[in-house]
Every structure is written in structure tokens, then in C-alpha cells.
Chains A and B, each alone.
Chain A
């Protein structure tokens, strides 16, 4: 069973601080990694995707991937109250034939306090 693990939180940070969200995965053959943000009662929306080791920055968001250690993280700089949401880590790996499956973690609830 391929697993994606996240700390469920809640993770609470003050406004303006850096929020650090972590995710580990069990399938060493995983090839694509995604972070989604989900507001309460809403559907997930994509924040970042990352495919190779290292850092990828997009505005206030930085995704970090370390395939050797099987972890992926998301840093949110200058956190805002509007960043308060559940962050889902998703990992894609080959599942047989021409199929690739996206496996989701349970999410980390982030609260940014004004």
C-alpha cells in the first residue's frame, strides 16, 4: 500500500511568519509531487508541482523535494490569514500498464493568526 504521510496539525503561525509543511511518501518510484490548498467546504486547488530534487519557488511559496529521503515540503513565506486552510500533499507513481496514480495525504490544517 503506497502511503503519503502528513502531520495533521493544526499548525498555527503568526501573520508574517514562515509556515513549513512536510510530507513523506513510501513509494521510492514516485515521480511527480503536488501541493493543493483546500479551504473548508471547498475543493482542492493546485498551489505547486515539483518533479526534480531541489527547490521550486512561486511567489511566497517554495516547494522542496528530496527523493533520497522521500520527503517533500512546502514553505509559505509572509503567511497571511487568507492562507489558513488544509494543505494536501499528493504523490504520483506508476500503477501498472500505462497508468499513473495520484495518492493523497490526509492534509495539514494551517491557521495563520492575525
Chain B
């Protein structure tokens, strides 16, 4: 059963903590992406990776970090430096990062800071 999985579905963080959001795909896609969505807002790109062991910052990378050690996995760490981390986090993947590719989304992780 192919697709993109994200875990956990809900995550609660205390002030000053780092948390890591998981994203796994078995679609054999080269490119993976992390977006953040705030209520009433469009999706904003945090980081993306077009190939293993390489990734680039998106529009709002400050306070976040990623790794891409395996093709299937692209975890996102929300660090304590991210001042307003409460949001809906969406992972996506595409065959490659090229212009005609479609991005498909995982189910998302909702992060709340306590």
C-alpha cells in the first residue's frame, strides 16, 4: 500500500523543547518537502530535498532542521529557536523536483506548544 505516512498525528511540546516529526514514503519519490500551515493561511515551504544527503531551505527555515539520510525518510526537527511553532505540518513528496511533477501530501502532524 503506497503512500506517505507522518507521525505522530498530534504532538504537544513544552517551551524550550526540541521535537522531531517523522515523514516516510514508499512511493520511490526522489523529492520530499515540509510545509507549515497556519489557520486561514496558505502552505509555506520550510525545507525541501531533491536527493539523498542534500536539502535546501525554503521560505521559513529559521528554527527548523532536517536530514535526508535515506530516500524514504525526511524527518523535521522543530527546535526551541522556533518562536511560534504551533501549526499543522505537512510532508509531501514528488517523483523529482521538476516542473511537471505533482506533489502528494501525507496526513499531517498537528503541533501544539503548551
Contact = CB atoms under 8 A, between A and B. Distances in A.
A interacts with B: yes
Contact-size category for B? 20 to 34
A56 B103 CA distance: 19
B43 A104 contact: yes
Contact of A46 (B42, B99, B102): B102
Contacts of B104: 46
Interface in B51-65: 56
Contacts of A100: 97-99
Interface string B17-58: 000000000000000000000001111110000100000100
B42 A45 contact: no
Most buried by B among A4, A8, A101, A102: A102
A82 interface: no
Majority DSSP secondary structure for residues of B touching A = loop
A31 B107 contact: no
A40 to B, nearest CB: 11
Contact count band on A: 20 to 34
Give the secondary structure class of A's interface.
strand
Contacts of B43: 44, 88, 90, 104
A111 B97 CA distance: 34
Interface stretch (A12-20, A57-65, A69-77, A91-99): A91-99
Contacts of B98: 100
26 contacts: A4-B42, A8-B40, A32-B99, A32-B100, A34-B103, A36-B105, A42-B107, A42-B108, A43-B105, A43-B106, A44-B43, A44-B105, A49-B102, A88-B43, A92-B99, A94-B99, A98-B50, A98-B97, A100-B98, A100-B99, A101-B45, A103-B42, A104-B43, A105-B42, A106-B40, A106-B41
Interface of B: 40-45, 50, 56, 90, 97-100, 102-108
